[in-house]
Amino acid sequence: MTAGKPIKCIAAVAYEAGKPLTVEEITVDPPKAHEVRVKIDYTAVCHTDAYTLSGVDPEGAFPAILGHEGAGIVESVGESVTNVKPGDHVIALYTAECQKCKFCTSNKTNLCSSVRATQGKGVMPDGTSRFHNAKGEDLLHFMGCSTFSRYTVLADVSVVAIDPKAPLEKVCLLGCGVTTGYGAAVKTANVQKGDTVAVFGAGTVGLSVVQGAKVRGCSKIIVVDINDDKKTWASEFGATDFINPMKDLKKGETIVDKLVEITDGGLDFTFDCTGNVNVMRDALEACHKGWGQSIIIGVAAAGKEISTRPFQLVTGRVWKGSAFGGIKGRSEMNGLISDYFDGKLKVDEFITHRRGFTEINDAFEDLHHGDCLRTVLDLSK
Ligand code: NAD
Ligand code: DAO
Ligand code: ZN
C-alpha cells in the first residue's frame, strides 16, 4: 500500500542544459488535493523534450524531469479527485482541460487556463514540486507531465482515463505527436472530401496530418520534405505525391511555384510541421487565393518571427495555428482511442524504436536520425 506515502523510484533527471539525463532514484511525494499519482509504464521522446534539454528553450528550467508523451496507471489520488481512480489507465495531458475556465467553456479552443501559470514554472498548482532527489533538492515538473519518471504527479485536469483495452505501449503516442497532427487535420482545419492538402515535414506530426487528410478523403495529399527517406512513409500514411525541394525543382523554380502549378492555383489547406519560419511562409503562399488556409503546427526556435506580404491575407489566404491538434484531452481522447480500435487512426506504425528506460539518452540520439519517428521507452526496464 503506497497511497499517502512518498515513493522512491527511478527517473531521468535533466540537471543541466546540453548534458545527458541522469538516471537515478528520486522520491515522489503523494498527490495533494486535485492531484493524481501515476505509475508511468511507457513514454516516448519528442522534439520538445530535446529542445528544452538543449538549453535553447528560454523557458527551460533545471533541474527538471522532462517527458510529456506518456501513459500509465493511476496509483493513488488526492482529495477531491473525481475524474480518475486508482487502477485507471491514463494518458498525461500537457494541454489540460478543466471544463470550467473561460477557454474551456468558450467552445472555441482546446487551450485551458486552469494550470497554465504554474505549469509554465515547473511546479504543481500549489506552487511546489512533488519530486526530490537523494540530496533532498526539489526537481521541477515539465509541461504538467514529467513522464520520464516511473511515478509522476499530475493535476487532475491534466489526466484522462482511457479504455483499459488500449495498449499503453502504443497509445502513449496519443499524448502528443499523433494527436497533434491528426487533430490539426480533422479538427483545426476540418479538411473535407476532395480538398487538396500539402504537408511540410514528414515526421510523426506531419505523417499524422497526412493520415487525417486520408481519412477525410482529400483528393491530393502532397508531402514536402528535404529528406528522401520520408517518401516511403509518406506514401504508406496516405500521401499522393512527395516533393523534395532540394532535388525535385527545376532551375529557378520555388516550392511555391511548383505547388501552385500542380494544383491549379494553390492548395485548399497547407500545414507546417517543421518549425522553420521560412517554410511557414512558403506554406501560406502555396495556399489558393480566396480560401486557402495554412495551419502552423511546428514550434519555431526562440525569437524567430514569421512574415509574408499582407496582400497574401488581403487576397483571402488564412494563417492559423494549432496546439495539440485542437483536441480537448479529457473529452476527446477516447474518441481517438475508438478511431484507433476501428483502424481509422494509425499509431503503432509510428513506433520505429523501442528501448528500456535506462537507455533514455540513446532515445534522444535516435531523434536525430531520419529512420526514427518515435522511440518508446519501457519504464519497467
Ligand atoms: P520531426 O523532426 O520528426 O519531423 C520534422 C520533419 O521536417 C523531418 O522529416 C524533416 O526532414 C522535415 N524538414 C525539416 N526542415 C524542412 C524543410 N525546410 N522543408 C521541408 N521539410 C523539412 O518532428 P515532429 O515530431 O514531426 O514535430 C514536428 C514539429 O511539430 C516540431 O516543430 C515540433 O516541435 C512541433 N510540435 C508541435 C505541437 C503543437 O501542439 N503545435 C505538438 C508536437 C510537436
Ligand atoms: O495556453 O498559453 C497556453 C500554452 C498552451 C501550450 C500549447 C503548446 C503547444 C506546443 C507544444 C509543443 C509540443 C509538445
Ligand atoms: Zn480550462
Q: What is the pLDDT of residues 276-286, one digit of tens each?
A: 999 999 999 99
Residue 201 sits in the same domain as residue 115: no
Give the pLDDT of residue 369.
87
Ligand 1 in reach of 47 Cβ (< 6 A): yes
In this prediction the pTM is: 0.97
Q: Are residues 103 and 232 in the same domain?
A: no
DSSP string across 93-146: -SS---SSSTTGGGTS-S---TTHHHHHHTS-TTS--SEE-TTS-EEB--TTT-
- Is 341 domain-assigned? no
CATH number at residue 162: 3.90.180.10
Could you list the residue range(s) of the whole structural domain that residue 223 is in? 181-323
Report the pocket of ligand 2 as residue ranges, CB < 6 Å. 46, 48, 68, 95, 111, 116, 176, 299, 323
Q: Answer yes or no: do 130 and 226 share one domain.
A: no
Only one residue has cell 502532397, namely 222
Do residues 282 and 318 both lie within one domain? Answer: yes
Task: Find out whether the beta carbon of 180 lies less than 6 Å from any atom of ligand 1.
Answer: yes
Count of CA atoms in the C-beta half-sphere (13 A) of 364: 20
Cα–ligand 3 centroid distance for 100 (angstroms): 5
What per-residue confidence (pLDDT) applies to 58?
82
What DSSP state is assigned to residue 326? G
328 inside domain: no
Catalytic-role residue among 2, 22, 27, 116: 116
Count the domains in the chain: 2
129 pLDDT band (50/70/90 cuts)? very high
- Which has the closest alpha carbon to 354: 369, 331, 375? 375
Give the pLDDT confidence of 303-330 residue by residue, as tens digits. Answer: 999 999 999 999 999 999 999 999 999 9
Question: Three-state SS for 158?
Answer: helix
Give yes or no for residue 353 having a pLDDT over 90: yes
| Res 1: pLDDT | 87
pLDDT of residue 43: 98
Counting from 1 in the atom list of ligand 1, the atom nearest the Cα of 46 is: 25
Dist CA 72 CA 43 (whole Å) = 9
Q: Based on the domain organization, do 190 and 299 belong to the same domain?
A: yes
